[in-house]
Structures are given as C-alpha cells and as structure tokens.
Amino acid sequence: MPDTHLELLDSLSQRLGNQQVIRDSVAMEGYLVEERKLYRGTAMAVVRPGSTEDVAFVVRECAKAGVAIVPQGGNTGLVGGGVPRSGIVLSLERLDRIREVDPFNATITVEAGCILKAVQDEAEKADCLFPLSLASEGSCRIGGNIATNAGGVNVLRYGNTRDLVLGLEVVLADGRIWNGLKGLRKDNMGYDLKNLFIGSEGTLGIVTAAVLKLFPHPKARTVAFVGCASPHAALDLFERLRQRTGDQLTAFEFMPRFALQVVLRHAAGAVRPLAGEHEAYALIELSSPDPGIDLRERLERVLGEALEAGIVEDAVLAASEAQGDALWTLRESLAHVQRLEGGSIKHDVAVPVSRVADFIVTATQACEEAMPGVRVCAFGHFGDGNIHFNLSQPVSMEKAAFLRQWERFNRIVHDIVDGMNGSISAEHGIGLIKRDELARYKDPVALDLMRTLKRTLDPHNILNPGKVLAPEADLPSDLPSSS
C-alpha cells in the first residue's frame, strides 16, 4: 500500500477510532460481496463514520489522497452498485438516528443508515405509515433506498422513493455538506437538487439524512388472489379496479402459472389459493385509513362483475388478516424460491401500463422461440408496468451454459422493452450490471447530460467510480460474462 494511503487510513483512524476503520479481510468480507454473489470487490478498508461531519471529513481526506469512495447502506442492492474495486467502502450504518417525527407536517427526518423497517416502525408509533416496502426491508437502509430510488410493492398507491422524499442532506465530493433538509410540499426556490441525488447510486454525493413523507395509517385492508385466462384479462381487471376503487387500490401484483407452480413446489407452508390452474394470477390489495369502510364488500362486487364479464376465471378473498398475509406470502416468496429451479436470467423492466400485457406475451414468446424449454417467470408490479422478467433454465440444461446466454436474452428482452418506449431498469438501478445496457439504450443527449453532471459534481471521479456510467476512458471488459 503506498504511503499516501497509509497516511489516509491513519488520519481516518485518528478521527473515527481504530474500530471504525476496518482493515482486517475477514471483518471486511460482508462489505465486499454483494447479494447475488456475482461480484467480489476489493478495498483497502471499510470506514464507518458516526456523524455527517465525520462523513464530510472522510470525503475530504479521500479527495486529498485521490482515493475512491463506495458508499454502502445495507448492501442488498442487486446490480453491483455497492461493490468496491479499489479505495474504501464508506458504510453509513452508524448514522442510524431518527432525528424528528412531525405528525402535523406528516414527515419523519432520519439519518441515512436507518434500516427501512426501523423507519416504518417509528412512523407506526405516531399512527402514521411510511409506505416504502421491499422484501429486503429488514436489512436495506434509507440512504441506499434513496440512492437507488427503490420501488417495491406500494408504488401503485404511494409512488417510488423519489415521491416520498421532501428533503436531503448530502456530503458532496469536495466534502462540503449540503443541508437541504426541508419538509416542504411547495418549494420553487430554483433547481430541484434533491432529485439529482435520488437514484444516483452513490455517484454524485453521499446522502446522510432525509426528510420523508408520512401518510395516514391504513385501518382497513382486504386482499384477493385472482385467476385470469391471460395477462390481457389481468390488464382489463386492473383498469376496472382502478376506475372503481381509485386510491384504495394499493397493490396489483402479477404472477404467471409457472411462478405459482414454483412457489407451491418450494415455499414452506404455501397452500394452493384456487382450486384450478390459470394462465395469469393477480394479487390485489385495497386499503383505507377509514376503519368503518367495507373494502371486502367493494372488492367482492367488482370481482363479481368481472367474473360475469369473463375477465376473471376464479378468485378468493382473504377472510382474515392472517389469510391476507398468507396470500401475500405466495407473491413475496417467489424471489427466494425461483433459484431452486436452477439458473435464472433476470430483467427488471418497465413499460407503459397500457403495454404491460403486450410486453409479457411478446417477450415470453420471443424467449421461448429463442430457447425451447426455457421457463419464463414474468412476475411483479403489474400495476406500475414493472415486470421482473426472469427466465428459469430449461430443466435438462447445464446452469453455467444457460447463464452464458444472458447477453443474448438481454438483447431480445431489452429490444422489446425499448420498442415499447420502456425502461431496462425499473427499480433496481444500473450499478455495474447494466452499465453497458444503459449506454446502448439511453438517449445519447441524456447520457451526455449525465456525464456533464458527473464531471461537475465529482470532477476527480472519486464517488463510486465506474458505476452507472463507464469511466470516460471506458472499460467495459471488466464485466462478468453473465451480466
């Protein structure tokens, strides 16, 4: 390690304490490997500041030494964005204080290292809802959610993370602290800077705190699991529900026949929700803060009419909270159990909601033609036009041989998405895994503006270098062949 790096680490240890500058390779392990184990990173240390001022100090020292910084929250990201390739990992995990809850302003001010579940729980104590909800909510952190503009299962009603953020505190690449912690619904004082940092995956600044929106806590909820003859019938049902239930429609999640088969085969305790099998399933939730409202009756009525109109083939409404949870588990366990079917090639894409059924049908057909036997598992946030278009390997194929086809399927699926004016990254971000795909599909003028912003806010390229945008010198060859 060069002397300048040793001096840097000594200076950081002096300010933060030795325990907060981890150099031991065993202790660093959890910060170097990402969720899917597609990448293994390398770093000279993991640094854990405990305050915004200490984050600013670390950034200033790294800037002086020209050392790269990879910010990290819960390390649950799915695109390799938090994987270091040199320099330091800056973990935000010690910035975990709830700074303020203001029920009248309907806001909560939290530090970036707060675990999402802790923020939800704190909101609940004030009889409020913080609606961001992901399967990783027990370990992902708010700073990571903001940096990735996370989505999840409540976007239909409450929006993405971007829609839930009113203000930010950010440490810039030169170590200055931008205090934008305003909890305002209206603020037209110039450019909306917070939206530059939301979704920037640690490449433009380090989020240290945020003011988040709260909502009335739902007091009534009803859940149904519905079988339809096709994705197009599911879209008809969605449109009907949106017209009839408006804001009460909180979730409309989709699973194809294969996905439910996988869940019933592998998920412990999973019970078949409907007697027969159907091409397309929808998990529907209505909720309301009004405890007196009969949502079940309302949903039953709309589903009954849809059944008569031939849109729905069969449906079950949860008779209790526990049954509602059990129906949700069918949907939520899919991400964990699909891997038991062997290799999975994944795409996280979005199209306009009006095209979502067309997309599922067209892309499914194209992939099945490209590789007979491939099992399409196209599930997810149908009501947002966001499909996790996953492909399970043919039963008899070797996993590694299947995964080598990732690029080929990217082209098939992403070309269809692009042709529908969609997005090749709906909610997981770009990181490393989709960096070359971004360069291929993003409008060139937009890419140029992104580069200009990157150069302006991080002129020495020390913030998460090589993520989202390839370095100007371009080095796409370090991507694994499976991306």
Residues near ligand FAD (CB under 6 A):
35, 70-78, 81-82, 92, 112, 134-136, 140-141, 143-145, 147-148, 150-152, 201-202, 206-207, 335, 427-428, 431, 464, 467
Burial class (CB in 10 A: 0-12, 13-18, 19+), 474: exposed
Q: Which is nearer to ligand FAD, 143 or 273 (CB)?
A: 143
Give me the least distance between CB of 74 and ligand FAD, in Å please.
Answer: 3
Give me the least distance between CB of 309 and ligand FAD, in Å please.
Answer: 32
Residues whose CB is less than 8 angstroms from the CB of residue 57 and which lie 6 or more positions away in sequence, other chains included: 12, 15, 49, 175
Q: Which is nearer to ligand FAD, 70 or 315 (CB)?
A: 70
Q: Which is nearer to ligand FAD, 58 or 412 (CB)?
A: 58
Q: Which is nearer to ligand FAD, 74 or 256 (CB)?
A: 74
Burial class (CB in 10 A: 0-12, 13-18, 19+), 286: buried
Give me the least distance between CB of 242 and ligand FAD, in Å please.
Answer: 21
> Hey, how many other C-beta atoms are within 10 angstroms of the C-beta on 399?
11
The answer to whether residues 356 and 422 touch, using CB atoms and an 8 Å cutoff, is no
Q: Give the distance, in angstroms, between the CA of residue 53 and the centroid of all CA atoms in the same chain.
A: 28
Q: Which is nearer to ligand FAD, 69 or 412 (CB)?
A: 69
Q: Which is nearer to ligand FAD, 331 or 414 (CB)?
A: 331
Give me the least distance between CB of 68 and ligand FAD, in Å please.
Answer: 11
Give me the least distance between CB of 127 and ligand FAD, in Å please.
Answer: 25
Give me the least distance between CB of 431 and ligand FAD, in Å please.
Answer: 6
Beta bridge partners of 168: 180, 210
Give me the least distance between CB of 53 and ligand FAD, in Å please.
Answer: 15
Q: What's the half-sphere exposure (Cβ side, CA atoms, 13 Å) at 37?
A: 0
Exposed e or buried b for every residue in 442-461, given b needs 16+ CB within 10 A? beeeeeeebeeebeebbeeb
Q: Which is nearer to ligand FAD, 41 or 144 (CB)?
A: 144
Taking CB positions, which residue lies at the least distance from ligand FAD?
144
Give me the least distance between CB of 368 and ligand FAD, in Å please.
Answer: 26
CA dist 214 → 35, 41, 464 (Å): 29, 37, 31
Q: Which is nearer to ligand FAD, 150 or 172 (CB)?
A: 150
Q: Which is nearer to ligand FAD, 41 or 71 (CB)?
A: 71
Give me the least distance between CB of 73 and ligand FAD, in Å please.
Answer: 2
CA dist 451 → 79, 454, 476 (Å): 20, 5, 16
Give the alpha-carbon dihedral of 293, 297, 302, 304, to 10 degrees. Answer: 180
Give me the least distance between CB of 82 and ligand FAD, in Å please.
Answer: 4
Give me the least distance between CB of 388 and ligand FAD, in Å please.
Answer: 9
Residues whose CB is less than 8 angstroms from the CB of residue 325 and which lie 6 or more positions away in sequence, other chains included: none
Q: Which is nearer to ligand FAD, 152 or 227 (CB)?
A: 152
The answer to whether residues 160 and 151 touch, using CB atoms and an 8 Å cutoff, is yes
Q: Which is nearer to ligand FAD, 180 or 227 (CB)?
A: 180
